[in-house]
């Protein structure tokens, strides 16, 4: 069940952006201050470490330049996510465009076979769960979202995200135990 505090957390960026559009400089400063850590977490999983801070700054600048296009009647999260995704794609394109050194034919390449198999096996295990459980586990345990962020991203209450993680992990443990007992 969603509490008043949870609702306030989910709406705070929407409200801050709407206030910023109305000329509230403090709300705008607060919003940008809260967005920067979220953006860092978003990019740390998607870009080389040296590019993370530049990407964060690109998004904050884009928000500043395009803030007049935000419709306060719509949620802020998807608007922010779209900007972050476009800036991420721009960064990936810039990686491709940069000159690179030719690789030596004798370069050693580590064998990632075990990690590929493990990742594939884990994806198969997640497919055994109910979709809300798998999504909650993926966001919180694999991608590093907080429970509150996962709640906003999935539309589940904070309590439901916690319950889905608990039940999903319990189900994964029973699947693994059953497979081990079968061997």
**Domain membership flag for residue 109:** no
Is 66 found in the same domain as 12? yes
103 lies in a domain? no
- Of 86, 87, 102, nearest in space to 51 by CA: 87
Query: Residue 119 has what pLDDT?
Result: 67
Same domain, 140 and 80: no
User: How many CB atoms are closer than 10 A to CB 89?
Assistant: 11
Inter-residue contact 132 to 156 (CB < 8 Å): yes
The pLDDT value recorded for residue 1 is: 37
- Residue 34's CATH number: 1.10.1740.10
- Output the tens digit of pLDDT for each of the chain's 183 residues: 333 433 344 458 989 999 999 999 999 999 999 999 999 999 988 888 888 999 999 999 999 999 999 899 999 999 999 999 999 998 888 877 665 666 666 666 666 667 666 667 778 888 888 999 999 988 888 888 899 999 999 999 999 999 999 999 999 889 888 888 887
Q: Report the half-sphere exposure of 67 (CA within 13 A, side-chain side).
A: 20
Radius of gyration of the chain (CA): 21
Query: Is 19 in the same domain as 79?
Result: yes
Residue 47 DSSP class: S
Q: Which domain holds residue 92?
A: 1-98
Alpha-carbon distance of 150 to 156, in angstroms, equals 8
Instruction: Let me know: does 127 contact 137? Beta carbons within 8 Å.
Output: no
In this prediction, residue 104 carries a pLDDT of 65
Report the C-alpha gap between 163 and 125 in whole angstroms: 18
Same domain for 129 and 69: no
Q: What is the pLDDT of residue 93?
A: 85
- 29 with 63, same domain: the answer is yes
pLDDT at position 95 is 75
Is 144 in the same domain as 83? no
The per-residue b/e assignment along 21-54, b for 16 or more CB within 10 angstroms, e otherwise, is: eeeeeebbebbeeebeebbeebbeeebeeebbee
Same domain, 161 and 87: no
Evaluate whether 17 touches 67 at the Cβ level (below 8 Å).
yes
């Amino acid at each position: 069940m969603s509490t008043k505090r949870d609702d306030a957390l989910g709406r705070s960026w929407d409200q801050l952006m709407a206030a910023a559009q109305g000329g509230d400089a403090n709300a705008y400063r607060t919003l940008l201050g809260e967005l920067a850590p979220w953006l860092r977490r978003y990019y740390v999983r998607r870009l080389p470490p040296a590019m993370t801070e530049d990407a964060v700054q690109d998004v904050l600048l884009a928000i500043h330049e395009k803030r007049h296009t935000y419709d306060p009647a719509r949620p802020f999260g998807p608007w922010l996510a779209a900007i972050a995704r476009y800036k991420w794609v721009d960064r990936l394109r810039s990686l491709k465009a940069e000159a690179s050194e030719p690789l030596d034919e004798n370069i050693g390449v580590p064998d990632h076979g075990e990690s590929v198999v493990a990742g594939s096996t884990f994806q198969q295990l997640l497919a055994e769960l109910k979709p809300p459980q798998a999504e909650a586990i993926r966001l919180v345990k694999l991608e590093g979202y907080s429970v509150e962020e996962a709640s906003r991203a999935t539309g589940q209450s904070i309590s439901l995200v916690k319950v889905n993680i608990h039940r999903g992990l319990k189900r994964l443990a029973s699947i693994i135990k059953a497979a081990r007992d079968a061997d």
